[in-house]
Structure 1
Amino acid sequence: MNAIPGAYDWLTTGANWQGERGIWRRLLEHLHLSGVSLLVSGAIALPLALWLGHLGRGGTLAVNLANVGRAVPTLAVLVLLTLTPLGAYGDLPTLIALVLFAVPPLLTQTYTGVRGVDRSVVEAARGMGMSGWQLFARVELPLAYPVVAGAVRSAAVQVVATATLAAMAGEGGLGRIITAGFSLQDTAQVVAGAFLVAVLALLVEGVLVLAGRLGDPMRGRPRTAR
C-alpha cells in the first residue's frame, strides 16, 4: 500500500517531469511510437479489409492469416528484430513489431464489419442501379462505420499499452519509467509509470470515441435508418 502514496509523491515531484528522462520527454516518445505504428497499420489493414469485405472474396483467408499473426508474442518479435541488422536503425524494430501487432485486429474487425452489413439492404441498393463504388460509399461503409471505428479505437488502446515494451529494446516511451523503477527497485516509480500508461490509454480512447461520433456519416439520422 505504501507504493501508492509513493507513486503520488513521485508524480508530483517537478524534477521527474523535466529533462531527457523526464515524463514529458517519455510521453512524447510514447506518442510518437504509438501514433506512427497505428497510422502505418491502419494504412495497411483498413483499405485491404474494406476492399475484401466489399468483394466478399478472399477475406476468410486474410482473416485466418491475420489470426495466425496474432498468436505471435509481440515481445518475441521485438527481440528478434532488434537482433537483426534492423536493430541499428533506432526505433524501427519497435515500430515494425507494433505494426505487426495492430494489423490483425484491424483487418479482422473491419472485414467482419463490412460483411456484417444486412445483405438485403445491399441487394436493394444494387437493384436501384448503384455502381460498386456507390454501393460501398453510400451503403456498406456508413453501416459498417461503428464497427470500423471500434476496431481503430481498440487497436489504438492496445498499441498504446503495448508500446511500453519498447523499453525492453532500449527505446523510449513511458515504459522506460517502469524499467528504470525495476532497476532501482523503486516500486513507487513502477506504479507511477504504469499509472501514466493507463491514463494515456484512457485519454486516447476518449478522444477516439469523440472523433468517431463526430465523424459518423449516420450522425443525426434516426437509429432505424442505420
Structure 2
Amino acid sequence: MNLFIDAFAWILSGDTGSFDSIPVAILQQLLYTAVSVLIAAIIAIPAGWYIGHTGKGREIAVAVSGAARAIPSFGLLILLVLLMGVLLKPEAAVITFVILAIPSLLAGAYTGFEAIDKRVIDAGRSMGMTEWQILWRIEVPLGLPLLVGGIRAATLQVVATVTIAAYIGLGGLGQYIIAGLPLRRLDIVIGGAILVAALALILDGLFALLQHAVVARGVRVAASASGSEARSSTRRRRAPVPVGADAGS
C-alpha cells in the first residue's frame, strides 16, 4: 500500500526530474496513438467495408488479422528499428502500432455490415437504390456502432502498447516505467503504470459514450419498443389470478 501512496505522491508532485513532464508524456502517448489509429483506419476501414458489402475476401481478412495479432509488438518494433535505422525510429514505431490496430478496425468494419438484417438491404434494392446509396445510406449508418467498437478496441490496444516506444527513446508514459526500473524507483514505475491505465480507462469511457451515440435513431426506438413490449408481457404473465375465478368458471 505504501508503494501506491508513494506513486500517487510522485504523480501529484509533478517532479519528474530528468524525464519529460507528465502532461508532455501524455501528449506524446496520445499523439502516437492518434496517428497510428488514423493510418490504420485509412487502410482497414475501406477494406472492411468492401468485404462486408460484397461478401468477398472474408477468409483472407480473418487470416491476415490472425497473423497480425500473433506478431509480438516489441519484437516487431526492435526489428523495424534495426532494419530502418535509428534515424527512423518514430516511423518504425508508428508502423508497429498500425499493424497492431488494423485487425480490430478491419473486424469492426466488416462485422458491422454483416450484422445488418439482409431484409433491410433487400428493401433498399427493391426501392431502386444503387449500391453506392445502399452503402452510404443503409450499411454505413447501421454498421457504425460496431465500427466504433473496433476503433475503441484498436485505440485501447495501441495506447497501452505505445508504452514500449520509450524503450527506443521516443518518450511517452513508458519512459517512467522503463527508466524507473534500473533506478529502483518503484514509485515512478507504479506511477507510470497508473497513468497508462488511467488514460486507457478515460479513452474507453469516451468511446463507450460515442458508441452509444452513433446508434441509429430508428434502431434505438425499435429496441426501446421491443423492451417495453417484453416488460409488458412479463407483467401480464405475473399478474395474480383473481380469487374465486376458478369457482366462477
Greater Cα offset, 94-103 or 109-118: 109-118
Paired with 1:129 and 1:187, the residues of 2 have a C-alpha distance of 65
Cα pair 1:10 1:192 within 8 Å, conserved = yes
Pairs within 5 Å for 1:13-24: 13-16=13-16, 21-24=20-23
Q: Which consecutive unaligned segments of at least 5 residues does structure 1 have?
A: none
Cα pair 1:45 1:103 within 8 Å, conserved = yes
Paired with 1:19 and 1:184, the residues of 2 have a C-alpha distance of 13
Greater Cα offset, 30-39 or 18-27: 18-27
Output the aligned Cα RMSD: 2.1
Which residue matches 2:207? Answer: 208
1:8 aligns with 2:26: no
SS of the counterpart of 2:172? Answer: coil
What's the CA shift for 1:109?
Answer: 2.6
Which residue matches 1:54? Answer: 53
Pairs within 5 Å for 1:98-113: 98-113=97-112
Q: Which consecutive unaligned segments of at least 5 residues does structure 2 have?
A: 227-249
Which residue matches 1:195? Answer: 194
Q: What is the TM-score normalised by the length of structure 2?
A: 0.83
Which amino acid is 2:190 matched to? V
Judging changes above 3 Å, is the alpha-carbon distance between structure 1 residues 11 and 20 closer, same or farther for their aligned structure 2 residues? Answer: closer
Judging changes above 3 Å, is the alpha-carbon distance between structure 1 residues 65 and 203 closer, same or farther for their aligned structure 2 residues? Answer: same
Cα pair 2:44 2:105 within 8 Å, conserved = yes
SS of the counterpart of 2:119? Answer: helix
Pairs within 5 Å for 1:74-153: 74-153=73-152
Cα pair 1:81 1:93 within 8 Å, conserved = yes
Which residue matches 1:172? Answer: 171
Larger Rg: 2
Count residues with an aligned counterpart.
225
Paired with 1:218 and 1:40, the residues of 2 have a C-alpha distance of 30
Q: Percent identity?
A: 37
What's the CA shift for 1:207?
Answer: 2.1
Which amino acid is 1:9 matched to? A
Judging changes above 3 Å, is the alpha-carbon distance between structure 1 residues 128 and 86 closer, same or farther for their aligned structure 2 residues? Answer: farther
Which amino acid is 1:179 matched to? I
Q: What is the TM-score normalised by the length of structure 1?
A: 0.91
Which residue matches 2:63? Answer: 64
Which amino acid is 2:8 matched to? Y
What's the CA shift for 1:117?
Answer: 1.2
